[in-house]
Amino acid sequence: MKVTVVGAGAVGASCAEYIAIKDFASEVVLLDIKEGFAEGKAMDLMQTASLNGFDTKITGVTNDYSKTANSDICVITSGIPRKPGMTREELIGINAGIVKSVSSSLIAHSPNTILIVVSNPMDTMTYLAHKATGLPKHRIIGMGGALDSARFKYRLGEALNAPISDVDGMVIGGHSDTGMIPLTRLATRNSVPVSKFMSSERLEQVKEDTKVGGATLTKLLGTSAWYAPGAAVSGLVQAIACDQNKMYPCSVFLEGEYGMNDICIGVPVILGRNGIERIVEIELTDAEKTNMQESADAVRKVNDLL
Ligand SMILES: NC(=O)c1ccc[n+]([C@@H]2O[C@H](COP(=O)([O-])OP(=O)(O)OC[C@H]3O[C@@H](n4cnc5c(N)ncnc54)[C@H](O)[C@@H]3O)[C@@H](O)[C@H]2O)c1
């Protein structure tokens, strides 16, 4: 199993590290445009192999796509991250050009690969990769909902004063501060609706804190976060590599599902060896349907900028 990660920055390196620590891939290639940067990150990570007990071979290359040839899975994290006060949508000018050229270069060397898009604005970058590569829709996956759901569970655990392993919840919709939809109605603590344990006001606060989860960290760190994004990507990669049939909300190209067409947006999917094995259509309330529609309208506005 060969995995390429383009962009050896904060998220790309974190993603490579988690993939290696989980020890399911034979090879991870890190590629960056900055001379020597990916080589340095790869060497540093390889020097953790004996300490962390993994056999995955990590190599780094400067913009040499021949070294990525025949990758089973390719991850795109290249592009600028947001700074405090910025929205993800403001990154489109620079990141669209990067994602378009990177996705085409990757496919030229790995025509059978499954592509995971992380660069922001992620839903629009996934849509762009879909259009630029012409890959079938089950082989292009945008990562956002897996991270947003992890942040939702973190906030639920905090509000419940419960271990996060007790908590389940999912975030669908666009990967933006206003577009994401934490499904509070379906969130549970060991199968019991979380509304049993907290007031509707507290649950609303959890929802709002989840939606600005990325912005909160960007303000604290001065740049966007990397541990949870890297872990979320590695989870998607593992689900595909190990044919886990695991369910994650991911940004995928819709053709009629949820009443939408010609858009990539976050919905629950089953991930396995073919990439997206199935899109899961859950019954939404009228209010959730309205939220989903508004979220899609916002994603389309950003898509129009392409
Ligand atoms: N989808 C999500 O949930 C999520 C979460 C966090 C970050 N992100 C996004 O991921 C992206 C990366 O974030 P980061 O914090 O790792 O940024 P970073 O600046 O630390 O790393 C980005 C790397 O991309 C490289 N790069 C730029 N252009 C390139 C090209 N053409 N080819 C190869 N490499 C190139 C840069 O040299 C840099 O090393 C940003 O767009 C950020 O907004 C998405």
71 CB-contact burial (10 Å; exposed 0-12 / middle 13-18 / buried 19+): buried
Q: What tokens were used for 303?
A: 């898509």
Structure confidence at residue 20 as a pLDDT band (50, 70, 90) = very high
Residue closest via CA to ligand 1's atom 8 equals 119
Which domain range does residue 61 map to? 2-143
What does the chain come to in residues?
A: 306
Q: Which of 25, 76, 31 is nearest to 49 (CA)?
A: 25
Q: Is residue 173 part of a domain?
A: no
Q: Which residue is closest in CA terms to ligand 1's atom 30?
A: 33
Domain presence at residue 265: no
Q: At what angle do helices 145-160 and 213-221 cross, to 10 degrees?
A: 90
Tell how far the Cα of 291 is from the centroid of ligand 1, in angstroms.
29
Helix (H) or strand (E) holding 297: helix 286-304
User: How many structural domains are present in the chain?
Assistant: 1
Whole-number Å distance, alpha carbon 81 to ligand 1 midpoint, is 6
Instruction: Write down the mean pLDDT value for the chain.
Output: 97
Cβ contact 67:31 at 8 Å? yes
Ligand 1: does its nearest atom lie under 6 Å from the Cβ of 145? no
Amino acid at 176: S
Mean pLDDT of 169-186: 97
pLDDT tens per residue across span 76-115: 999 998 889 888 888 898 999 999 999 999 999 999 999 9
* DSSP category for residue 225: -
Which of 91, 105, 95 is CA-nearest to residue 63? Answer: 105
**For 284, which DSSP code?**
P
Q: What is the pLDDT of residue 89?
A: 83
- Expressed in angstroms and rounded, the spacing between residue 161 Cα and the centre of ligand 1 is 34
Closest atom, ligand 1, to C-alpha of 8: 39
- 81 within a domain of the structure (yes/no): yes
pLDDT (tens digit, 9 = 90+) per residue, 54-70? 999 999 999 999 999 99
- Tell me the C-alpha distance between 157 and 152, whole Å: 9
On whether residue 8 sits in a domain, the answer given is: yes
pLDDT score at 86? 85
Residue type, 271: L
| CA gap 185, 305 in Å, rounded | 34
β-pairing, 246-255 vs 261-272, is: antiparallel
Q: Under 8 Å CB-to-CB from 156, ≥6 apart: which residues?
A: 162, 164, 167, 169, 187, 189, 194, 206
- Strands 171-173, 180-182: pairing is antiparallel
Q: Quickly list DSSP for 96-115.
A: HHHHHHHHHHHHHH-TT-EE
Question: Shortest CA distance to 6 belongs to which of 72, 61, 81?
Answer: 61
Model pLDDT, residue 88: 86
Query: What is the rounded distance in angstroms from the CA atom of residue 145 to the CA atom of residue 175?
Result: 7
Residues 296, 293: Cα–Cα separation, whole Å: 5
Handedness of CA 25, 29, 30, 31 (dihedral sign): negative
pLDDT of residue 32: 98
Instruction: Calculate the CA dihedral of residues 285, 289, 290, 291 and round it to 10 degrees.
Output: 100
In this predicted structure, the answer to whether residue 222 has a pLDDT above a threshold of 90 is yes
For the annotated catalytic residues, the residue numbers are 175
226 pLDDT higher than 90: yes
Give the pLDDT band of residue 295 (cuts 50, 70, 90).
very high
Position 21 in a domain = yes
Q: How far apart are CA 299 and CA 288, in angstroms?
A: 16
Question: Which stretch of DSSP H or E encloses residue 92?
Answer: helix 92-109
The best mutation among 77, 94, 126, 212 to test binding of ligand 1, ranked by most ligand atoms within 8 Å of the C-beta, falls on 77
Assess if residue 304 is contained within a domain. no
Q: Ligand 1 pocket check: which of 39, 76, 80 to mutate, most ligand atoms within 8 Å of Cβ?
A: 80
Instruction: Identify the CATH number of the domain in which residue 72 sits.
Output: 3.40.50.720
Going by their DSSP bridges, the two strands 192-193 and 140-142 should be labelled as: unpaired
Please determine, for residue 304, whether its predicted confidence score (pLDDT) is greater than 90. yes
Q: Is 85 inside any structural domain?
A: yes
Task: Report whether residue 12 contacts ligand 1, using a CB cutoff of 6 Å.
Answer: yes
Q: pLDDT exceeding 90 applies to what percent of the chain?
A: 95
Q: Look at residue 197 and tell me if it is in a domain.
A: no
3-state secondary structure of 223: coil
